Amino acid sequence: MSVRHARTRYHVMVVTGATIAIAGSVIGAVRMFGLGGEMVHGMPMSDMPEMVLAGGGILLALAGALLRGAPRTPVPATKRFRGRGLVAFIATTALTIDISKTSTLGFVIPGMRAEYGLGPTAASMLAVAGLSGTATGALLFSRLADRVGRRLTYVIATLGFTATSLCAGMPTFGGNVVMCFLMGITVGGLAPLLITMLTDLFPGGARGPVVTGLSVVATAVGFLVASGSALWLEPVYGWRMLWLIGAPTGLLLTLAAVLVPQRAPAATEPSGGGTRELDGRPRRIARAAFTIRLQWLYAAVVGLMTFGLTTWVPTLARAGDLAPTTANTLLTAVAVAMVPGAVLVAVAYRRFGTIPLAVAMATGTAALLLGLVTSGVTAAVPWLAAAMLAGSLFAVNTLAAIFLPIAADLAGSASRGRVTGTVSFSNRIGGLTGPLALSLIVSSVTDVLTAVAVLALCCGAIAWYTGHRHRAVRADLEREARMLTAPGVPPG
């Protein structure tokens, strides 16, 4: 059997598996919505054969992709800019939906606690399972992309994203936990892949601000989708509908796979990437200042703060006899305000740079929250407490949206996918402890605000230390450059 014939057969396996997975997911979602009447209810596993069918299709597609391998022909660098705007739109949209799925977790927990009679610690296991899956996916999919190419990795992730939305019909809390873990694998694998794709699209000095701006926009709109769904769909269809809407959105992402680049184009730009040139060595300065270990530490602290707050803000916002509709309206309003705020963040990134932006966001958030806590206003006015919790999400999610584009920008084109995956893994590992830690104090808005303020200060300290190292390294390299170019000094 020729190599070409074998690769064609494996390609047929991928297409067949994808078709089976899509058919199973669509039929399952339609049946689940139609059988539940107005409210979406859980059903026995024996009544959900489509879930098994979809899972089998994904495994078949994955096997075909692994056997087929990555494309042998490299993508020419001249194709880098063809259809760049469309690819950027697809990647940003996919990132938005991916982030909305993580944000939905916090809106699902109140209804799930009421249905299953769960306490905060038990309910936090759903978040722990989901974040464990995202950590696993961040590592697995970054390596899968090296093995089979980006397009097939994207297809596998979006198929899993679509199929796991059928967890809306899970009858038990344990089944929801298992499905949340599987869903997390696809969500965690998709985010670093999309950031890497966006980073490859934009060369030179525009890369950092543009990719960071798109990441913040995706974060804002993703939370807006999650909060808006909770505001308009949950009262009518129940909390399970927040899971089920992932089926049609995941299907749309899968169909857009034809527009996803299979591999990164060959690198032709200087190694400076997204930072300004300084004697041909800008990335050396950035890497020396913001080492991979510092990136891991920063990502872990941001994950602890972000996922802990995102998981419990919807629950805390409903405390103090505040109606769920009012709480969701406040969260949706803040999400709307985050969208134009994302543009300001991109402008600030371009004007001041990453480090001053991170320091300002972190210290500003900490100062605001600590001021509210010490004044006692949030304890006296429930709606103001909910608004401040929602407002803190803007700054926290902005910090979360910054770190992954920075990691992708600093990494070389050959290792960008893997570096982004490991930094994302550190973020998810930090996030694992967030829901559990905040579940211990979830009944007190004041304590949560204090904890988030302290973590924000830690992020600011790491960013300040990185900036200090960056200035020191830059000064050393400038001094070295002057010595090498001074008259009478031999080169090398």
∠ CA 227-188-340, nearest 5°, is: 40
pLDDT of residue 473: 67
pLDDT of residue 386: 66
Inside any domain, residue 76: no
Tens-place pLDDT, residues 113-132: 888 888 877 888 888 888 88
- Residue 434 burial (CB count, 10 A): 27
Highest mean pLDDT among 78-82, 215-219, 414-418: 215-219
Tens-place pLDDT, residues 428-487: 788 777 766 766 765 666 777 787 788 888 888 887 777 677 667 667 767 776 776 666
Mean pLDDT, the chain, rounded, equals 77
Inside any domain, residue 491: no
pLDDT of residue 487: 60
- Residue 283 burial (CB count, 10 A): 18
pLDDT of residue 269: 45
Inside any domain, residue 93: yes
pLDDT of residue 36: 52
CA distance 464 to 111: 41
Taking residues 376-384, what's their average pLDDT?
A: 66
pLDDT of residue 24: 93
Inside any domain, residue 488: no
In terms of residue numbers, what domain contains 265? 3-70+84-482
Inside any domain, residue 268: yes
pLDDT of residue 158: 93
Inside any domain, residue 277: yes
Nearest to 363 by CA among 276, 272, 428, 460: 460
Into how many domains does the chain fold? 1
CA distance 342 to 217: 5
The percentage of the chain sitting over the pLDDT mark of 90, rounded to a whole number, equals 10
CATH number of the domain at 430, please.
1.20.1250.20
Inside any domain, residue 489: no
pLDDT of residue 162: 92
pLDDT of residue 286: 54
Asked whether residue 12 carries a pLDDT value surpassing 80, the answer given is: yes
Question: Residue 57: which H helix or E strand, with range?
Answer: helix 49-68
pLDDT of residue 63: 93
Residue pair 223/107 in contact (Cβ under 8 Å)? The answer is no
Confidence of residue 343 (pLDDT cuts 50, 70, 90): confident
In Å, how far are 36, 327, 380, 449, 456 from 376, measured between CA atoms?
45, 20, 7, 12, 20
Tens-place pLDDT, residues 66-110: 988 766 555 544 344 456 788 888 888 888 888 888 778 878 888
Inside any domain, residue 215: yes
